Amino acid sequence: MDLAYTAGEERFRSELRAWLTSVLPGLPEKPAHTDWPGRRSYDCHWQKLLFDHGYAGVDWPAVGGGRGASPIEQLIFKEECERIGAPYVGVGFVGLLHAGPTVIAEGNEAQKARFLPPILKGEEVWCQGFSEPGSGSDLASLRTKAVRDGEDYVITGSKIWTSHAEVADFCELLVRTGDEDSRHRGISWLIMPMDLPGIEIRPLKTIGGSTEFAELFLDEVRVPIANRVGEENDGWRVTMTTLSFERGTGFVGELLESMRLLRTLVDLARRTGAWGDPDMRRRLGLLTAQFDALWALTKRNVSEAARDGVPGIGGTVFKLAYSEQGQSLTELAMDLLDVAGLSLEPLKTSSGEALHNDELTEAWIKSISLTIAAGTSQVQRNILSERVLGLPKEPSAGKR
């Protein structure tokens, strides 16, 4: 194994760095985190800039219209974007990080031609309609029903926790096409346009004050059968592909963001005198070592995805470890900030330097959801124990 960067990789890095340095000052002002139409146009504008300069879909294969970059180049891309503070995918999360990759892996040629280019160009935004009020961890129990009628499925049911639904054009939707008790054998994966008659979107406000996600109510919504990805009743297999992208490589950008926050914390500890506390130094040291280990695991996951088309089981380990470490990180931030952590308004130290309490406190609020979103930690542990360690299945699993 050669761990040094090649001349080509160094060139990729320096060209990207030069482009990012030139383009970032010209970006419009960031919208408020509660302004979803504003966030959509900001994120899509950034995506269009990436597309116009050949950096859209760096981690997509060339066959899907992406850059087809090597795993190392993909990581360099993320490192450089994070280093300079470039915008994150934002509302493009579902389309770019798991719906698009699923269409590449499982869609037919017509679906690839219709749906992939607008995702890469930042023209269309996707959301994820998997969870239902009674079906989160136990996703295979979902009840939203799709019945064939001519060229369409007629869909009735409801979804919940649908992130970015109010600004999305399409939804990766799981529906029951089999019998009521068919569980994972009776699910299909559909592409649902979000402007169809019969769709009602009711935004839900989070503890952070923003309507980050919504409830979806579907009343006899007609989705063309041609929008089904994979075979009828084979949607569970397609869903595993989606989840392997979501859990495997979807959070890499967020990992780098957490590593940046950790550096902010170390700097803050040094500036505020907290560094003199051996326990604080021990906790910071431990987190640094844990995040370094996760970065190494990320490299493995990205290489695996590049080789096999989808990330392997390392994605489940990554999701579990990242979400729990992310929470330790922000809890440490709260300990360090003490009462300053009560304010979301930016405060300064006695010497007039930024305390970063606004971003750290926001990160803490957000981190509470990390161990729930994209599958809870308990469920990730079940998957690891059954599929990696070969332990017996849960006693109730046979009944499901």
**Whole-angstrom distance, CA of residue 47 vs CA of residue 57:** 9
* CA-wise closest residue to 176 among 163, 165, 160, 189: 189
Site string for ligand FAD, 117-156 (x = CB under 6 A): ----------xxxxx----xx-------------------
What's the min distance (Å) between Cβ of 97 and ligand FAD?
12
What's the min distance (Å) between Cβ of 276 and ligand FAD?
37
What's the min distance (Å) between Cβ of 368 and ligand FAD?
8
Instruction: Kindly state whether residue 178 participates in binding ligand FAD, applying the rule CB under 6 A.
Output: no
Of residues 73 and 106, the one with the C-beta less far from ligand FAD: 106
Instruction: Kindly state whether residue 244 participates in binding ligand FAD, applying the rule CB under 6 A.
Output: no
- Residue 252, by phi and psi: left (phi above 0), alpha (psi -120 to 50) or beta? alpha
Instruction: Kindly state whether residue 316 participates in binding ligand FAD, applying the rule CB under 6 A.
Output: no
Of residues 140 and 154, the one with the C-beta less far from ligand FAD: 140
Of positions 303, 369, 385, 386, contacts ligand FAD by CB under 6 A? 369
Of residues 21 and 137, the one with the C-beta less far from ligand FAD: 137
* CA-wise closest residue to 294 among 275, 330, 263, 320: 320
Of residues 215 and 335, the one with the C-beta less far from ligand FAD: 215
Q: Are strands 126-129 and 170-176 parallel, antiparallel or unpaired?
A: parallel
What's the min distance (Å) between Cβ of 371 and ligand FAD?
8
Looking at residue 386, the DSSP 8-state letter turns out to be: I
What's the min distance (Å) between Cβ of 369 and ligand FAD?
4
- The letter for the amino acid at 85 is G
Instruction: Kindly state whether residue 298 participates in binding ligand FAD, applying the rule CB under 6 A.
Output: no
Instruction: Kindly state whether residue 14 participates in binding ligand FAD, applying the rule CB under 6 A.
Output: no
Instruction: Kindly state whether residue 251 participates in binding ligand FAD, applying the rule CB under 6 A.
Output: no
User: Residue 195: how many CB atoms within 10 A of its CB?
Assistant: 9
Of positions 148, 378, 388, 391, contacts ligand FAD by CB under 6 A? 378
Instruction: Kindly state whether residue 387 participates in binding ligand FAD, applying the rule CB under 6 A.
Output: no
Instruction: Kindly state whether residue 233 participates in binding ligand FAD, applying the rule CB under 6 A.
Output: no
Instruction: Kindly state whether residue 239 participates in binding ligand FAD, applying the rule CB under 6 A.
Output: no
Instruction: Rounding to the nearest 10 degrees, give the CA dihedral for residues 65, 71, 73, 75.
Output: 110
DSSP 185-242: GGEEEEEEETTSTTEEEEEE--TTSS--EEEEEEEEEEEEGGGEESSTT-HHHHHHHH
Whether 345 is catalytic: no
* The residue to which tokens 């332990």 are assigned: 391
**Whole-angstrom distance, CA of residue 85 vs CA of residue 359:** 13
What's the min distance (Å) between Cβ of 161 and ligand FAD?
3
Of residues 284 and 379, the one with the C-beta less far from ligand FAD: 379
User: Residue 371: how many CB atoms within 10 A of its CB?
Assistant: 19
Give the sign of the dihedral formed by CA 361, CA 363, CA 366, CA 372. Answer: negative
Of residues 49 and 190, the one with the C-beta less far from ligand FAD: 190
**Whole-angstrom distance, CA of residue 212 vs CA of residue 383:** 28
Of positions 154, 204, 266, 373, contacts ligand FAD by CB under 6 A? 373
Catalytic residue among 106, 246, 254, 257: 246
Of positions 111, 141, 163, 303, contacts ligand FAD by CB under 6 A? 163
Q: Looking at the chain, how many residues does it have?
A: 400
What's the min distance (Å) between Cβ of 212 and ligand FAD?
6
Instruction: Kindly state whether residue 97 participates in binding ligand FAD, applying the rule CB under 6 A.
Output: no
**Whole-angstrom distance, CA of residue 376 vs CA of residue 350:** 41
3-state secondary structure 252-272: HHHHHHHHHHHHHHHHHHHHH
Residue nearest to ligand FAD as judged by C-beta position:
136
Of residues 176 and 283, the one with the C-beta less far from ligand FAD: 176
What's the min distance (Å) between Cβ of 42 and ligand FAD?
20
**Whole-angstrom distance, CA of residue 299 vs CA of residue 275:** 31
Of residues 5 and 217, the one with the C-beta less far from ligand FAD: 217
**Whole-angstrom distance, CA of residue 55 vs CA of residue 51:** 6
**Whole-angstrom distance, CA of residue 47 vs CA of residue 390:** 42
Which residue ranges make up the site for ligand FAD (CB under 6 A)?
127-131, 136-137, 161-163, 213, 369, 372-376, 378-379, 382, 394
Active-site amino acid positions:
246
